[in-house]
Every structure is written in structure tokens, then in C-alpha cells.
């Protein structure tokens, strides 16, 4: 699977000195940037789950106090 992903990145993402990709030279048409396309497909990421741990304050532990 890693080889397939690297092949897709090589064919569609890496640009030649003239600005064309291997896929655009092979098929004769331009393709959208794969990373921009991927970000458009992912959408919003979910928020992290809340922790079940309770926050216990230690009165003996002082944060940095200016002198």
C-alpha cells in the first residue's frame, strides 16, 4: 500500500522543471493539486474525547511566582 501511495505522489504531485507532472504529460491534461484535493475531501476533524481523569489540585505545588 505504501508503494501505491508513493507512486500516486510521484505521478500527480512531483512537478517537472516546466511545471508539468508525469500524469499530465502521459494523459495530456492538467490535474488538480493532490494535496489541495485531499484537504477538500477530509472535512472537519472531530474534537478529542474528554478525559475521565479528575483534575486534583495540589496546594503544596506552586506555579512560578515572581519574586
pLDDT per residue rounded down to tens, the chain (67 residues) = 999 988 888 888 888 888 888 988 889 988 888 888 888 999 888 898 887 777 777 777 766 666 6
Res 49: pLDDT: 85
pTM for the structure as a whole:
0.50
Residue 4's Cα: distance from chain center in Å?
18
Res 62: pLDDT: 67
Confirm if 22 and 11 have CB atoms less than 8 A apart.
yes
For the chain, which residues make up each domain, given as ranges?
2-41
SS3 51: coil
Confirm if 16 and 10 have CB atoms less than 8 A apart.
no
Amino acid at each position: 500500500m505504501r508503494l501505491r501511495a508513493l507512486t500516486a505522489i510521484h505521478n500527480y504531485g512531483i512537478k517537472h522543471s516546466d511545471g508539468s507532472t508525469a500524469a499530465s504529460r502521459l494523459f495530456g491534461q492538467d490535474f488538480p493539486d493532490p494535496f489541495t484535493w485531499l484537504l477538500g475531501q477530509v472535512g472537519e476533524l472531530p474534537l478529542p474525547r474528554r478525559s475521565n481523569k479528575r483534575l486534583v489540585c495540589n496546594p503544596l505545588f506552586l506555579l512560578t511566582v515572581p519574586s
